[in-house]
Chain A
Amino acid sequence: MRVATLNIGFVPLVDAAPVIVAQEMGFAAAEGLDLRLHAAPSWASARDALSFGQVDAAHMLSPVPVAMALGLAGGGAGLEAVSVLSANGTVVGVSERIADRMRGAGHPFDFTDATTAGRALIAATDGPLRIGVPFPFSMHAELVYYWLSALGLPSPQSLIVRTVPPSLMPDAIGAGEIDAFCVGEPWGSKVVESGVGHLLLPGAAIWAFAPEKVLATRQGWAEAEPERSARLIRAVWRAGQWLDTVDGRSLAADLMARSAYLGIAPELIERALSGRLTIGHAGEVRTVHRFIGFHDGAVSLPWRSQAAWIGSRIAARTGLDRAHAIQAAAAVFRSDIHRAALTQAGVDLPPASARIEGALQRDTVVTSQRGPQMTLVRDAFFDGGTFDPGFL
């Protein structure tokens, strides 16, 4: 098999692990691929590099391909998601000032209950609540809007969601430009280490199975390059499988700490991978089951219904036609391409590619595509809401 070189963009975050591990642990080589990894300084530049053909695939925020399909961002070729790289892995945090008020009002910082945490946050805010998220089209923004509007905080008068790049989050919270934030690791832990903020919730407490990052490609690339794209999907899938093992979790932190990737202390990366997070500078530790998922419960499958949820949320906020947005969104989550690539390798997947999002209140055993039983993990929203994409 001739080795093919693929250029892959990523933003230095813990959830870039599958593409980094695919290259570093030999999963790419096993598929005859050599991945050249390019760190991008911002999401817009990662998106443009992919859209304008400088890289073949990229680690990308799951709502970006959807927003582009809705004509809301970017000027180059549209993108599509051929795999989901991770579920969850984000944190919500607040400034020290808000944390003090919340503590004063008796909030326990249990790092679990999104309803009480959200109510306590709203009560501790005077004036509009300013929340920093990494990008206008991000799962961070979607989770924040979903969470706080479900608790009765109407936007935009009382909720200002503002773009703050992850690396600038500690500065922004320290300077009082924002009251709270939702960000991917290791940047939440960085805020804690800087002593300017306190963690309030894991993103998973808002939606237990939120598709966080995807493996994105230019529209049409996967079909034009069926062999290479299938190999890439499989290499990244194997990396995700390894990352959800005990060994993977402990080894990946050292690997990703290297300067070519995250360039920070492995100890900070380990917090997210182990699910043991230090939530305040006094050193309080909270353990979160499935803080971030790379594999278990069919993480990698880009469910059409996940895209539809994202599309319907963005449409509602930007005044677009909901039915059209759902259709356009579902079309860019390529469960068909993902399924074809993995089926060739004998990998088993759920039989469907769309479902009612939020319906699984607990891990549930289902019959898989090939017949045996497989487990789908809990995907509940904090308020018990469900989303029917309308095309099941």
Chain B
Amino acid sequence: MEFALNVIPSGGASGERMGLELMVAPLSIVVVEPDPDRARLIIDALRDDTNYEIHVVADRASLARRIVQIEPDLVLVDLADPSRDIIEELTLASGPLERPVALFVDRTDTGLSTAAIEAGLSAYVVDGLTQARVKPVLDAAIARFRLMQRMRAELAETKRALEDRKVIDRAKGLLMRARGITEDEAYSLLRKTAMDQGRRLPEVAAALVTAADLLG
């Protein structure tokens, strides 16, 4: 048994928000909950003015397969639910997904919640399913997820910039030796070639380095 529910961005109708909303894909959330009444409660707690796509998975036997298919941004599961270990496997660094997990707790469990959130593992929603409790923790989990995403993107960008710099330096060195020119002249030559060919400077540099390596 499974049903999916798309929560259409209700605020999206107003013109000034449209532009922003279009940039952001709806946040996809899987709610693991066999009890339809509780699932309804969770959906109601989430259905606010935010752009969510909520999938409720009630059949836990197929949970892993469904999560891999849906590729959600967030998974919500009761802390007391044994299927938490399934989510644990899916969120392992070596696993198919890299997702934060938000867990519902029915009783006040403050110590663990705070510690777990600080550790960045997961967000524990405390004390029932009231909207007032669910929303802030969910927001915190989403914010953390976005931050992690941005940090990963920035890290990748920094790494690429460093690699670009390395290859440009090598290309400059090759040109300086081969043509007896200065470093500035070598750089100008690379830049001009890149502009003439409509390619990125690091690409031209990389091509030169590769060619030089091949030639010996």
A residues sitting closer than 8 Å to B (CB atoms) are 41-45, 48-49, 52-54, 72-76, 134-136, 162-168, 171-172, 174-175, 177, 318
Contact = CB atoms under 8 A, between A and B. Distances in A.
**Which of B60, B64, B88 is the most central at the interface, judged by chain A CB atoms within 10 Å of its CB?**
B88
B216 interface: no
Which 9 pairs between the two chains have the least Cβ-Cβ distance?
A75-B119, A165-B82, A163-B89, A52-B115, A75-B121, A42-B84, A175-B61, A171-B61, A44-B88
B65 interface: yes
B45 interface: no
A48 B82 contact: no
B58 to A, nearest CB: 12
A162 B61 CA distance: 11
**Which of A45, A74, A76, A175 is the most central at the interface, judged by chain B CB atoms within 10 Å of its CB?**
A45
Contact of A52 (B59, B65, B89, B116): B116
B115 A165 contact: no
A170 to B, nearest CB: 9
Contact of B85 (A75, A134, A172): A134
Given A76-B119, A177-B61, A41 B81 contact: yes
A42 B82 contact: yes
A172 B111 contact: no
A172 B121 contact: no
Q: Identify whether the interface residues of A are mostly helix, strand, loop, or mixed.
A: loop
B112 A163 contact: no
A165 B86 contact: yes
A42 B9 CA distance: 35
B112 A52 contact: yes
A171 B51 CA distance: 34
B65 A177 contact: yes
Nearest to B59: A175
B7 interface: no
Contacts of A168: 60-61, 82-83
Q: Place the interface of chain B in its size category.
A: 20 to 34
Contacts of B82: 41-42, 165-168
Contact of A163 (B59, B62, B80, B86): B86
Contact of B60 (A45, A74, A171): A171
Interface string B61-84: 110110000000000000111111
Contact of A75 (B61, B64, B86, B120): B120
A241 B212 CA distance: 73
B92 interface: yes
A163 to B, nearest CB: 4
Given A75-B116, A76-B119, A171-B60, A135 B111 contact: no
B93 interface: yes
A291 to B, nearest CB: 24
Given A41-B84, A162-B64, A162-B89, 20 more contacts: A42-B82, A42-B83, A42-B88, A43-B88, A45-B84, A52-B112, A52-B116, A53-B111, A53-B115, A72-B92, A75-B119, A75-B121, A135-B85, A135-B88, A136-B89, A163-B85, A163-B86, A165-B82, A165-B85, A171-B61
A135 B83 CA distance: 10
A166 B84 CA distance: 12
B86 A48 contact: no
A53 B64 CA distance: 30
A171 B83 CA distance: 12
A320 to B, nearest CB: 10
A45 B79 contact: yes
Given A135-B85, A177-B65, A76 B80 contact: no
B94 interface: yes
30 contacts: A41-B82, A42-B82, A42-B85, A43-B85, A43-B88, A45-B79, A48-B112, A48-B116, A48-B121, A52-B115, A52-B116, A52-B119, A54-B111, A75-B120, A75-B121, A134-B85, A136-B92, A163-B86, A163-B88, A164-B61, A165-B82, A165-B85, A165-B86, A166-B82, A168-B60, A168-B61, A175-B62, A177-B61, A177-B62, A177-B64
B92 A52 contact: no
A16 B81 CA distance: 19
Contacts of A42: 81-85, 88
A171 B64 CA distance: 13
Given A53-B115, A135-B85, A165-B85, A172 B61 contact: yes
Contacts of A134: 85
Nearest to A165: B82
A41 B78 CA distance: 10
Interface in B81-108: 81-86, 88-89, 92-94
B147 to A, nearest CB: 16
**Which of A44, A52, A76 is the most central at the interface, judged by chain B CB atoms within 10 Å of its CB?**
A44
**Which of B61, B83, B93 is the most central at the interface, judged by chain A CB atoms within 10 Å of its CB?**
B61
Given A54-B111, A136-B88, A163 B116 contact: no
B83 A165 contact: yes
B112 to A, nearest CB: 5
A6 B190 CA distance: 70
A328 to B, nearest CB: 17
Nearest to A76: B119
A166 B112 CA distance: 24
B20 to A, nearest CB: 33
Contacts of B112: 48-49, 52, 54
